Amino acid sequence: MSTETAIGQQRRIQPQAPAISGRLAGAAGLIFAATLVADNLIRAGAPGQGASPAQVTEYFLHHRAAALVPLGLNTFGVALFPFAAGLWARARAERTRWWAGTGALAAATIAALFGVVTVTEIVLTAKAGSLAASPAVVQALWAMHGAAFGLDMAAIAVALVGLSRAAAEMRLIPSWLALTAWPGAACLLTASVFTVALVNGGPWVAVGTVGFVVWLVFVIIASISLLRSRPTPETAA
């Protein structure tokens, strides 16, 4: 076998690994997006952040399916990790890797804070009967739930900006989405700033919802591009 033939074969083999990891990241992103949509649809009747202890207890005590199914679905939220890692691994230029790294760290923070939200809901679901006689405990748990949820929106804002900037420079998302990510992140960050008011039932969840929709659209479009294994046009720094 000649040297030229060996080099040619090596060049054909090398792109296969990034292509496979890109497809895995894209599939993971779509799983994560589907989980988010299903989770929020099932939780449509859940009590608001400013709900009374009696309302919270009634929901977790008498709406078992609506409380239990999302807790099971939350397991698939770990799909965010391979999605963010796939974008980071695909980056070549130094600036793009910085944005992707920032977004990936924010994704880890999202998981940590949402873990607090999930743990709180597990406790409320598992001990709903006994907690009915302890409204003060229920109120404290629900306030912790709202606080973690509010802070999580700040992490989503950073992840949205970081990962969308990286995806835009790799031409995985259209320019209009890269621009929309900024006001979307601003909405999330604004809602997070007013977490105390949010815990007490303020209207800031609606503001954060706007940014959440942008985040969801970004994840879906970037995931589809990763599945298609579009070539990255950037050059290494």
Convert the pLDDT of each residue in 94-116 to its tens digit. Answer: 788 999 999 999 999 999 999 99
Which residues of the chain form beta strands (DSSP E)?
none
Give residue 16's pLDDT band: very low, low, confident or very high (50, 70, 90): low
3-state secondary structure of 2: coil
Domain containing 33 equals 19-228
Predicted pLDDT at 72: 93
- Determine the number of helices (DSSP H) and then strands (DSSP E) in the chain: 11, 0
The pLDDT value recorded for residue 171 is 92
Query: pLDDT, tens digit, for every residue of 171-200?
Result: 999 999 999 999 999 999 999 999 999 999
pLDDT band at residue 93 under the 50/70/90 scheme: confident
Residue found by looking up tokens 């804070």 in the block: 113
Predicted TM-score (pTM) of the model is 0.88
Q: Give the tens place of pLDDT for each residue, 45-73.
A: 999 988 999 999 999 999 999 999 999 99
Average pLDDT over residues 146-169: 97
**Res 10 pLDDT > 70:** no
pLDDT (mean) for 62-85: 94
**For residues 164 and 218, is the Cβ–Cβ distance under 8 A?**
yes
Residue 2 belongs to a domain: no
Q: What is the mean pLDDT of the chain?
A: 89
Structure tokens at 91: 């980056």
Q: Tell whether 174 is covered by a domain.
A: yes
Position 232 scores a pLDDT of 45
Backbone angles phi, psi at 91, to 5 degrees: -65, 140
Model pLDDT, residue 230: 58
Distance CA 237, CA 234 (A): 9
Angle in degrees, CA 177, 30, 19, rounded to 5:
90
Number of domains making up the chain? 1
Q: What percent of the chain has pLDDT over 90?
A: 79
Indicate whether 109 belongs to any domain. Answer: yes
Task: Categorize the per-residue pLDDT at 234 as very low, low, confident or very high, splitting at 50, 70 and 90.
Answer: very low
- The verdict on residue 99 lying in a domain is yes
pLDDT at 18: 60
